[in-house]
Amino acid sequence: MAQITKDTIIGDILDIAPNTAPIFLSIGMHCLGCPSSRGETVEQACMVHGVDVDALIEKLNATIG
């Protein structure tokens, strides 16, 4: 995966970089196996959980290196 953006699907991130799961858990996204959460974009998850999307993207991209 080259780079995570606001439009990247969470399921795709988790499939390629499962080590990002704790980051999603830290924002309150506790049902990572649910079809709806895996199909959300990073931006959609941030809206639902009240998280700054740019900060989360930065953290995710730093984790996948």
Distance CA 35, CA 42 (A): 14
pLDDT of residue 1: 57
Per the structure, the count of domains in the chain is 1
Residue 2 lies in a domain: no
In a domain, 59, yes or no: yes
Whole-number pLDDT of residue 38: 84
Q: Is residue 3 part of a domain?
A: no
Is 49 in contact with 27 (CB distance < 8 Å)? yes
Mean pLDDT (10-residue bins), the chain, 65 residues: 90 93 89 83 91 96 92
Range of the domain at 43: 10-64
This model's pTM is above 0.85: yes
Report in angstroms the alpha-carbon separations of 13 from 51, 58.
17, 14
- Output the pLDDT for position 36: 81
